[in-house]
């Protein structure tokens, strides 16, 4: 009888371990994006001390992220990050028009399209 309870205990512990592992891998895409925005914000705070090339490189990376994740514009850290980039650009004498965040809109499907099966 003692061996029977030991078997059930080990089986229960194993199933509990599997359940914990399964839930530990569950994540939300939104959380990943927001943590990425936090990392961009943190990096942008150091831009005033960075070189001109570093500011341009950061802007390219940040712009690419915003284009690929348009929902990131709704993040609370989006505007402060943009302001940090602008401030750093002004300190280095860069043209702000060159560092603007550009959003490219694909107009390929602008008109009605008929698809024949």
**20-71 pLDDT, tens digit each:** 766 666 555 555 555 899 999 999 999 999 998 888 889 889 988 988 988 8
Average pLDDT on 4-11 reads: 59
Average pLDDT on 85-106 reads: 71
Closest CA to 99 of 111, 90, 110, 112: 90
Q: Is 96 exposed, middle or buried (0-12, 13-18, 19+ CB in 10 A)?
A: exposed
- 6 vs 35, higher pLDDT: 35
Phi first, then psi, for residue 28 (nearest 5°) are -115, 135
Average pLDDT on 2-28 reads: 62
Least confidently predicted of 44-48, 84-88, 111-115: 111-115
Percent of the chain topping pLDDT 70: 55
> What pLDDT is attached to residue 72?
87
> What pLDDT is attached to residue 77?
92
Q: Could you tell me the CA-to-CA distances from 104 to 2, 40, 41, 91 in Å, in that order? A: 69, 21, 23, 28
> What pLDDT is attached to residue 24?
63
Distance CA 56, CA 117 (A): 47
Chain mean pLDDT for the chain: 75
């Amino acid at each position: 009888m003692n061996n029977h309870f030991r078997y059930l205990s080990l089986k229960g512990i194993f199933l509990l371990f599997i359940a914990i592992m399964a839930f530990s891998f569950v994540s939300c895409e939104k959380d990943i994006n927001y943590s990425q925005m936090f990392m961009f914000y943190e990096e942008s705070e150091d831009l005033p001390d960075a070189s001109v090339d570093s500011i341009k490189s950061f802007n390219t990376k940040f712009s690419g992220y915003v284009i690929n994740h348009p929902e990131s514009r709704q993040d609370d850290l989006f505007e402060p990050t943009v302001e940090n980039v602008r401030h750093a650009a002004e300190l280095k004498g860069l043209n702000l028009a060159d560092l603007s965040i550009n959003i490219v809109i694909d107009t390929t499907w602008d008109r009605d399209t008929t698809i024949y099966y």
